[in-house]
Structure 1
C-alpha cells in the first residue's frame, strides 16, 4: 500500500501538506508514547483521545478539509468535495471531530491498546513496549487520516490552502 507521500507525488502543494501533517503527527505521537509509560490506568487512553481530538482537525486543516473550509468553498467545488468524501468513506475527514468519532477511531485499535495497558505494568521492558505501542497506534491513525485527506483532495481536485504557520 502506498504511503501518503507516494499518493501525493506530482503535486507539490499536496506533498507539502503531507510533510507538514507528518511533522505534526510525529510530535503528537511522541507525546502519546511518553504518556503510555506512566503506569496510571487510563491515562494513556485519555492522552490518546486528547491528541486525536486536536490532531485530526489540524490534519484536515492542512488539506482544506475542515467543515468551515469546506463550507467556504463555491457550491460546485463543495459538491465535488462531498462526493470525494463519500467515495473515500472516511469518518473524520471534513467532519466536526466529536467524542464519538474519537472513540470509533480508538476502538479500531482496541486489541493493541489492551495489550498496551497490560504491558505497561511489566518493569522497564513492558513500559518500553507500551510506549512503542502508544506511539505506533497514534502514528497509524494519523497516517491513515493523512492518506484519506490526500485521496479526497486528489479526487475533488482541491486547491489547498496556504500553510497556516510557516515552519510549523
Structure 2
C-alpha cells in the first residue's frame, strides 16, 4: 500500500507496506546491478580518468533514482503530510545513509567515493597493465559501484520501514 497526498495535481508516493518496500528494493537492486555493469564497461576503457568521471555522473543519477523510488527525495519529503515529513526526517537522521533524502551533487558523491580510496587507487593502477589490468579495473569498478549502490538501497529500506512503522494503519 502506498500513501498518497495530492498537491497541485501531483502525488507523492511513499511505500508503507512491507511488500511494497520489498518490491521497490528489488527494483532498485536490479537498477544497481545494471548501472554497475555499465560502470565496469566504462572501467575497461584504457583511458585514465574517464571511468571516474563517468562513475560520478552515473552514481549521482542512480542515487537520485533510488531516492525517488522510495519517495525520499527532498522534494517528495517536503510534499508529505506534516507528521509523515517529521517521521521521514527523523528516520533519515537516525538511520539513513549519507545520501538518503539529500540533494545529490557530484561533490557529495565524490566525498563518498573518497572513503573507498584504496579500491579506487587499485582500479586506477590496474589500468597500467595491458588487458589484464583493464579486466581487473572493470571488476573492481563493478564491485565498488554495486557495493555502494546496494548500501544506499539498504539505507533507503531502513528509512522507509521506520516511516512505515510510524504511519497510522487507516485511511490517511
TM range (shorter): 0.7 to 0.9
Answer yes or no: is the 8 Å Cα contact 2:64–2:104 preserved in 1.
Answer: yes
Aligned length: 150
Which position in structure 2 is the counterpart of 1:4? none
Equivalent positions of 1:28-43 (< 5 A) are: 28-43=35-50
Answer yes or no: is the 8 Å Cα contact 2:84–2:163 preserved in 1.
Answer: yes
Shift of 1:117: 0.5
Equivalent positions of 1:108-123 (< 5 A) are: 108-123=115-130
User: Which consecutive segments of 4 or more residues in structure 1 shift more than 3 A?
Assistant: none
Shift of 1:110: 1.0
**Corresponding position: 1:65 with 2:72:** yes
CA distance in 2, matches of 1:89, 1:16: 19
Of stretches 100-109 and 75-84 in structure 1, the one that deviates more from structure 2 is 100-109
**Corresponding position: 1:15 with 2:22:** yes
Which position in structure 2 is the counterpart of 1:156? 163
CA distance in 2, matches of 1:109, 1:31: 19
Structure with greater contact order relative to length (CA < 8 Å, sep ≥ 6): 1
Shift of 1:107: 0.6
Which 5+ residue runs of structure 1 have no aligned equivalent?
A: 1-9, 160-168
TM-score, scaled relative to structure 1: 0.85
Which position in structure 1 is the counterpart of 2:152? 145
Equivalent positions of 1:69-80 (< 5 A) are: 69-80=76-87
Which position in structure 1 is the counterpart of 2:11? none
Shift of 1:99: 2.1
**Corresponding position: 1:94 with 2:106:** no
**Corresponding position: 1:44 with 2:57:** no
Q: 1:55 aligns with which of 49, 62, 79?
A: 62
Shift of 1:30: 0.7
CA distance in 1, matches of 2:125, 2:101: 35
TM-score, scaled relative to structure 2: 0.83
Which 5+ residue runs of structure 2 have no aligned equivalent?
A: 1-16, 168-172
- What secondary structure is seen at the aligned counterpart in 2 of 1:51? helix
More strand by share: 2
